[in-house]
Structure formats: structure tokens, C-alpha cells
Chain A
Amino acid sequence: MIGRSLILDTTVRFVFDAAVVLSVYLLFSGHNQPGGGFVGGLVAASAIALRYIASESDDVRFILGIRPATVLSMGLTLAAATSIAPLLFGLGPLDHQSVEWSVQVLGAVHLSTATVFDTGVYLIVIGLLLRIVEALGDDPDDVTDPVTGGPDEGRS
């Protein structure tokens, strides 16, 4: 590390929040519009990666609060569970249900179980990308066990 760059540091502080909000917007708009879990996850992960580059800490954990592997695990579990869940109701794998729901302030809300699956993908992408950043950016001694094995599947 060359040391902190003031410009980068300040810019990242502004960009970070906006990028996270954008990523959540992309995640939820993905059902009917361009976006989705993968794109949203990429945006969020890039934001966190930027923070990681700008900050002096050598550990992504300080930014996120939890280990990337845990994020990966939550995402994969969520996505797999959503694809298995319809089987319990006698439907096919990955069948999705949606409801229109009218909320006082927000107006009509379109809720779909596909969003849950997308959230899983979102978390997988964040976890995976952070794991890569951690493996390639950390101390050389830490890269012995790259958990990058393919949780990415399906036409997301």
C-alpha cells in the first residue's frame, strides 16, 4: 500500500452511499426492468471494494462487519432455498408467485418470490467478489484456499 490518497478517500465517502442505494434499487427493479440481483450485487461489491482500496485496513471485514464467506453462505442458502421451496407446495422447481399489494403511502407494490431469489444472487455476488478481493489483496499467506468455486449458475 502506498498510503492513503485524500482525493480518493473523500470521493469514496460520497460515492459509497449512493452506490449502495443504487445497488438496492437495481436489485428491486430487476423483476420488470433492467437490473436484478447480479447487477445490483456487482454495484454493491464495487462500492465495498472501493472502500477497501481507499481505506488503510487490510481486511474487508472491517467494512462489512462480517466475513465474505458468511455473505456467500447466506446468499447461496437463500437462493437454493427459494428454488426448493415451491416443491413443498407441489409446484415445479423455481416456480415463482407474485402478489399485487396496495400500501398507503407507496402505492401499488408488486411483490414476487423471485425477488427473494434475486436477493440470494445479490448476496452471492457480493460475497464472492469480496472473497476475491480479500484473496488477491491480502497477505500472500492467506491465499491458500480460494473459495471461488462456482456458485454462479442459472440464467439470472
Chain B
Amino acid sequence: MTLLLVVVAGLLCSCGTYLLLGRQLSRVVIGVGLIGHGANLLLLLSGGDGGNPAFAGGDADRFADPLPQAFVLTSIVITFGVIAFLLTLAYRSWLLTSNDEVENDVGDRLAERNSSRTGSERTAGDRNTDDRTADGRVRESVAGSASDDPAGDPASGGRG
């Protein structure tokens, strides 16, 4: 019985890992959920063999260990909160880009671009001549983040 559960936990974790490695946010969310379940299962197993419900009367020697159950309950609550937040974020990302994929980091792209030139010609006007990014959206977000300042941009802040 326990071996079966261990195998199931392993299976959940490996499926979750596979999903996490993708770039689509929806897959990532599901992957996080699966790995979380796997970990919770392992946590439950750490209490040893099953037994009677604790503190509900009966033979004290045959109680199941209640502590891992408390752990699992806590961690389920936490996973629940995190997944809800991830979903909101994925939804937000989809609203902003109508695209489910995670893009490369802006700073990394800038650094990559800068390093492929000679250092001396790096000037302030340089950033506007965007030659290496073919995709329109990528260029847009580079420009957007380069000019980001916490003061301006009222559209981005604000509660609904």
C-alpha cells in the first residue's frame, strides 16, 4: 500500500516537473498543482502506517500520527492560495498579451544585444535603433520597460 503511494507521489512529481518545463503559463499552473499534490502525499506518508483517527477514543497505540495530517492541511491551504494567485497572474498575462507564453527577460535581451557590439559605441541614442529584435511585440516591450518609471503610467496602477 505504502509503496503504491510512494510510486504515485513520484509519478505526480515527475508529471508536474515535465509540465513546469514548458513555456505556457497554463501548463506551469497545472504542473505546480501536480508537484504540490506529490509533495503533500509524501508528507502524509512520512507519518508511517495508517491507523485509527487520533483523539477519537479507542486504543491509543493504534492512532495514526496526527502531526503529518496537520502539516498536509496547512500545506494544502498554502498551495490553494498560491495556485489562486498564479491563476490570476496567468489570466492577467493573457489579458495583456493574448499570449500564454513566457517571453525572454528584457534585461537579458538588452545585455545580449549590448555584448554583441563593441563597447565604445554604446550611447544613449543607441537604444532607439532597434535592429536585432524581429518580433514587433518584443521590441515594444523592450521600449516599454526601458522607459518605465514608477511615477508615471497611471493606466498600469490603480484599483478597479
Contacts and interface: CB of A to CB of B under 8 A. Distances in A.
Q: Answer whether A and B touch in the complex at a CB cut-off of 8 Å.
A: yes
B81 A152 contact: yes
Contacts of B91: 136, 143
Contacts of A38: 73, 77
A57 interface: no
Contacts, number: 50
A142 interface: yes
B74 A155 contact: yes
B160 A148 contact: no
Nearest to A133: B84
A107 B73 CA distance: 33
A38 to B, nearest CB: 7
Interface of B: 70-71, 73-74, 77-78, 80-81, 84-85, 87-89, 91-92, 95, 157-160
26 contacts: A128-B81, A132-B84, A132-B88, A136-B88, A138-B160, A141-B160, A143-B88, A143-B95, A143-B160, A144-B158, A144-B159, A145-B158, A145-B159, A145-B160, A146-B85, A148-B81, A148-B84, A148-B85, A148-B88, A152-B78, A155-B70, A155-B71, A155-B73, A155-B74, A156-B73, A156-B77
Interface of A: 38, 128, 132, 135-136, 138-146, 148-150, 152, 154-156
